[in-house]
Structure 1
Amino acid sequence: MKLQAKRLNSHSTYAVLLFLVISILEGTVFLTNVGALTLPDGDMHANASYAMATGQILNLPERSTDKFGNPVKSQHISGDSRYLHNKAMHNALVMDIIGDPMATDPHMANQRLADHLPSTQVTLPDKSFPSRTNQYFPLVYLPQGIGVWVGLHTGLGPYNVWQCGRIANFIFYLFLFGLSIVMIPRGKYLMAVLGSLYPTIFMATSLMSDAMFISVCACFIAYFFSLSTRDRPVTRVQMGILLGLTVCLFLFKTVYVALALLVWALPGSLLTTKRKATFTGLSALIALPIYGLWSSIYQNVPAIVSISDNTHFMFRHPLKVIFTISWNLMEFPKTLMRIGSAVLVPTLFVLAAWLILFMSSRPAPVDQSSPTASVRRYRYIWVSMVAFFCVAFLAYLFPYLTWNDMTVMKNAQAIQGFQGRYLTPILPLLTCICFFPPERTADALPPHNAADTIVGASEAESSSPTR
């Protein structure tokens, strides 16, 4: 047992070092070569980071209605014009920005000119400069906000203040994703590869909230699989940690809460059906009121079509909606391959790492005479696939409702507004191929007395992978 623990710690150390070395090298390149305000949806990420740093992230918004009849909540933030009126901000897709990872961003020089401009007090949004500071739950911008706050209070110029926000976001990402590598019992090197892909590192070194989504999803998946390999029931503390991560998934970006379906795949010897229902109920009881209150007061959902008309159409023609999203899912790999090396190279790295993990995983033979035994044996793989498609379906549904007119779209037509980076946070599900329920577990708890439970809980705490 001690030898196994020592070997696990050794794998964790090497995998984390591999992740840190590659990520820091790539991150240094992006921090140096790509402008701080060259990113997708800069009017959201940069402005929300500034609002968090200046304590304006919870400013009450003004309510109105757009030309499509959608409710609009405009959150006004005030501050230095050099941060809020930056004309050099470049809004582009991730893959367009990193098409040549070593190229120097041509917009960076103009972004640096803000250091030499006079400072005036302005308020966003206005006629020329939009703002979407209240689209996501405020905590997703906490790392960037801390970095920008430090930059503002140390007398740095505007460009270096943004750089501080990027560095803080990167450090937070490295910590959380590194923690996920430590927590996951197997597939550590695949996790290291997934965490250090250069499209992912670009997002982590930017002001984007995607770094938070990716790292929190990785932590949830890693912690779940660490619990799945135990031979003792999940303790209250462990369930509390899983509960906290689930609430974060829901609050940060609701589509990723589908990962919580994994909990229902745990054998009854680890978590009984009653405790699974309790876990689900508590997660909803905590997350729904918080998200509902914030959403009703603050959240603004930008749209270029009538969301109400699309919603009515969706409920009248659910099969058409399902077919269109399914068609887009099947076409997605073709779309990725057309982008070129920016996608092809990291895809090949992931595929190679996954194949190595797959070949090195040796599941115990399954009783072929019992189909249900096979289903139970590969339960984590099946549920991971279900969770993946649920997240993908929901990720497509959001732009389908807000960016596309469902009433005139054909069944087989591309959904505008969807970006491949929305699926990056669920890539750690690929590690499911090396996890199987413990050999002696069943769907019911083994008999034990109260003393056994106390001792088991104590041992489970002392051997927690997060220690």
Structure 2
Amino acid sequence: MSDRNGKLKAGAVERTEQGRQTGFKGKAAPVGSHGKSGSRLRIWVGVGALALLLAVWHLTDVGNGVRASGDRWLYGWYGGLMVWAAAMLGVLGYGIFIKRTWSLELIFTGAVLGLGLMYLVVLPPLSAPDEVSHYITSYQLANRMMGKPNYEDGIRVYIREQDRFIEDLKDVLKPDGSGYRDREEVQPSGENKERKQAVILGQELTEDTYRTIHERGIRSTGENGRAVSYQIPVRTTPLAYVPQALGLIAGQLLGLGGLGLLYMGRLFNLLFFTAVGCLTVRRLPFGKEVFCGVALLPMTLHLASSFSYDVLLIALCSYFTAVCLDLAYRKKQVGWQDVLILAVIMGVMGPCKMVYGIVAGLCLLIPVKKFGSWKSWVLSAAAVLGTFAVAMVLVNGRTVALYTNPASGYAGYVDWAEAPGYTFGQLIRTPLLVLKLCYNTLMWQGEQLYSGMIGGALGNMDHVLNTPYVVILGLTAILVMLSLRKPGEPLFISMKGRGWIWLLGFSCLGALMFSMLLAWTPVGSSVINGVQGRYLLPILPMLLLTLKNDHVVRTDWNDGTLLYVMIGLDVYVALRIFSIVCLRVS
């Protein structure tokens, strides 16, 4: 699929991008060049002052939590977060509004790392969705990379004895992880006995979680020996956990304790996201600010500072989009290195969640003539799709067979609901039922998906630890404004190309819903269970890029100003959540 704009000369996009923001050629594109000096200063001071004023307001909530719990050190934690936020807003504001020569890559790096570290502290280890499963899978890979024994029974992973508290805060499991201790909790009536449930760090985020972190610290406790985790690792490509595993290895080499390992694993995942994000911003021929906006959403920052493999999916989907757009609209010729990059991304990303393999359709935006011949085009397509198919067979072949084979025991049964589910054959034979459930899900849960994508329920899908709806609307407005065309900016994606991108987006959403219908939805449910807004983040940037049009042009509020307002809103969300957690005193 080719667009008329593919005829632009090489380098036109760079000149356009630089010219619209700076008025100069041949220089790195800064992000805060428009507007009078006084106006820039007012925005810089105003946003920072408002964020810190709201932080002082929520200090009263922290004080209430301190009086209820007696933990005065919470003041110190909150004060440290306020100082970090003020310094970050000051430095980034100086680069955007005063210095005005900082590249978008530099602003992106400072904002994502600064905010990511805030969210890493405010939403502590294992508080993200499914993070405990991602943690133990990273631990499994770290053991393998260090040549350590890995399994007790072929499933459960060996961990250090001093790390056992992470998934058993109340110490109710046997040290080897094989079951409950002999002592049991007896109900007040004495008639029935009820075993205690193991409490996992951060799963339910309360003030007690902060207290545990404060009391234990990140240093090693000196406990020797080996224990067994009772968490089951995720069955997927180990490449999705390389950054996290490297963090765990670094933590062990530094002699850190369990909490130290958790923070190191999260930090390395954040660094990976930042590095790939910088490559994405650099490679995008246009719309760089759109990706930056998506990366600065509260949900993206929360995931980026966790163990989740969603970090890899968001980062690689965005970079894949950047490479395809670069080849379609800027680069003169497609080289073998470009094909190799696309194939590697699909081979790494595809097995994590196969539905995102649909983004490979972006390659069809690249004109065939840039490959040199139809033969080269076919070989390139075979390389990209073949790599994806081979990776799928090697990593997910068994999983696909389990869910499509009625005799496997996995098909037709939903564990979490302990109820019958749909089989692959049933869904294929009843397309109207599938369409009806998809329609019901979008109509009844569409707002929940939208707010969840932005950050409506952070932590472990905790709706109390939320981004206020007015902030969600503000962030949405900023994303839309970042996506609009600026004066003098050409439209690179034709109507045909935009239609193709939206078809890919709807196909990806449909595949996500079908997979959740097959694996997570019991028979009789009126909606599809398990579909979450965060699943839309990998495809959000490419959809936003299609909003540029000839009819609506942004003439005010440059990219730097809009991104700075987003940073201020992110700071507010983080500080507000910390104050809410302080109030959750058990």
For the aligned pair, the TM-score class normalised by the smaller chain equals 0.7 to 0.9
Aligned residues: 399
Q: Which residue number in structure 1 is paired with residue 191 of structure 2?
A: none
Give the match for residue 403 of structure 1: 520
Q: Indicate the SS of the match to 2:108.
A: helix
Query: Structure 2, unaligned stretches of length 5 or more?
Result: 1-10, 19-24, 32-101, 170-199, 404-409, 457-465, 551-586
Q: Percent identity?
A: 19
Amino acid at match of 2:211: A
Alignment correspondent of 2:486:
360
Q: Distance between the aligned counterparts of 2:393 and 2:281, measured in 1?
A: 33
User: What is the letter of the counterpart of residue 383 of structure 2?
Assistant: L
Answering whether residue 225 of structure 2 is matched by residue 107 of structure 1, we say no
| Structure 1 residue runs of 4 or more that deviate by more than 6 Å after TM superposition | 56-63, 297-302, 305-308, 361-366
Q: Which residue of 1 aligns with 2:277?
A: 177
What SS does the aligned partner of 1:79 have? strand
Question: Aligned pair in 2 of structure 1 residues 84, 52: CA closer, same or farther (>3 Å)?
Answer: farther
- The correspondence of residues 203-222 of structure 1 with structure 2, limited to 5 A, is 203-222=303-322
Aligned partner (choices 14, 31, 37) of residue 120 of structure 2:
31
Equivalent position amino acid for 2:112 in 1: S
Which of 391-400 and 292-301 deviates more?
Answer: 292-301
Aligned counterpart in structure 2 of residue 121 of structure 1, from 215, 226, 230: 226
Q: Secondary structure at the match of 1:269?
A: helix
Paired residues of 2:161 and 2:227 also in contact (CA < 8 A): yes
CA–CA distance in structure 2, aligned partners of residues 238 and 435 of structure 1: 29
Would you say 1:289 and 2:390 are equivalent positions? Answer: yes
Structure 2 counterpart of 1:345: 471
Which residue is equivalent to 2:426?
313
User: 1:130: which partner in 2?
Assistant: 231
Find the counterpart in structure 1 of residue 177 from structure 2. Answer: none
1:87 paired with 2:168, answer yes
2:350 and 2:388 in contact (8 A); partners too: yes
Q: CA deviation at 1:386?
A: 1.2
Deviation at 1:47, TM superposition (A): 0.3
Cα distance, 1:337 vs. partner? Answer: 4.7
| Distance apart, 1:76 and its partner CA | 2.5
Distance change >3 Å, CA 140–CA 263, structure 1 → 2: same
Give, in angstroms, the shift of residue 196 of structure 1: 1.8
State the secondary structure of the residue aligned to 2:361. helix
Partner of 2:52: none
Counterpart CA distance in 2 for 1:49 and 1:264 is 35
Preserved CA contact (<8 Å) 2:343 2:385: no
Secondary structure at 1:10's aligned position in 2? coil
8 Å contact kept, 1:136–1:252:
yes
**So what's the TM-score if we normalise by structure 1?**
0.74
Q: Over residues 158-213 of structure 1, what are the superposed CA-to-partner deviations in whole Å (9 max), with x where a residue is unaligned?
A: 10111111111111110001110111011111221111222111111111111111
1:147 aligns with 2:261: no
1:326 aligns with 2:439: yes
Residue by residue over 1:94-131, the C-alpha shift from the partner in whole angstroms, topping out at 9 and shown as x without a partner, is xx97xxxxxx864233356486594542223xxxx332
* Residue deviations 1:193-247 (CA, integer Å, cap 9, x gap): 1112221111111111111111111111111111111362322222222222222
**Partner SS state of residue 158, structure 2:** strand
Amino acid at match of 2:507: C
Q: 1:361 to 1:346 in 2, by over 3 A?
A: farther
1:425 aligns with 2:527: no
The alpha-carbon distance between structure 1 residues 137 and 164, as it changes in their structure 2 partners (threshold 3 A), is same
> 1:290 and 1:202, CA in 2 relative to 1: closer, same or farther beyond 3 A?
same
Cα deviation, residue 33, structure 1? 2.2
Mean Cα deviation higher: 12-21 or 334-343: 334-343
* SS of structure 1 residue aligned to 2:278: helix
- The 5-angstrom pairing of residues 161-176 of structure 1 reads 161-176=261-276
Contact 1:180-1:222 within 8 A present in 2 as well: yes
Q: In the superposition, relative to structure 1, how do residues 164 and 284 fare at CA in structure 2: closer, same or farther (>3 Å)? A: same
Tell me the residue number matched to 2:380: 279
Provide the rounded CA distance (Å) in 2 between the counterparts of 1:270 and 1:215.
26
The SS at the match of 2:228 is: strand
For the Cα contact (< 8 Å) 1:39–1:90, is it kept in 2?
no
Bigger drift between 253-262 and 287-296 goes to: 287-296
> Does 1:186 pair with 2:283?
no
- Which structure's CA Rg is the greater one? 2
Gapped regions of structure 1 (runs ≥ 5): 64-73, 98-103, 367-375, 437-467
CA distance in 2, matches of 1:365, 1:202: 33
**Structure 1 residues 361 and 199: CA distance shift in structure 2, 3 A:** farther
The worse-fitting range, judged by mean Cα deviation, of 146-155 and 247-256 is 247-256
Q: Which structure has the higher relative contact order (CA within 8 Å, separation 6+)?
A: 2
Q: Secondary structure at the match of 1:341?
A: coil
Partner in structure 2 of residue 440 of structure 1: none
Amino acid at match of 1:190: V
Q: 1:77 aligns with which of 157, 163, 168?
A: 157
Q: Which moved more, 1:105-114 or 1:161-170?
A: 105-114
> Contact (CA 8 Å) 2:517, 2:529: kept in 1 or not?
yes
The residue type paired with residue 156 of structure 2 is H
> By how many angstroms is 1:379 displaced?
2.6
Alignment partner for residue 262 of structure 1, among 347, 358, 362? 362
The TM-score, its normalising length taken from structure 2, stands at 0.60
Distance in 1 separating the partners of 2:490 and 2:262: 52
Partner of 2:509: 392
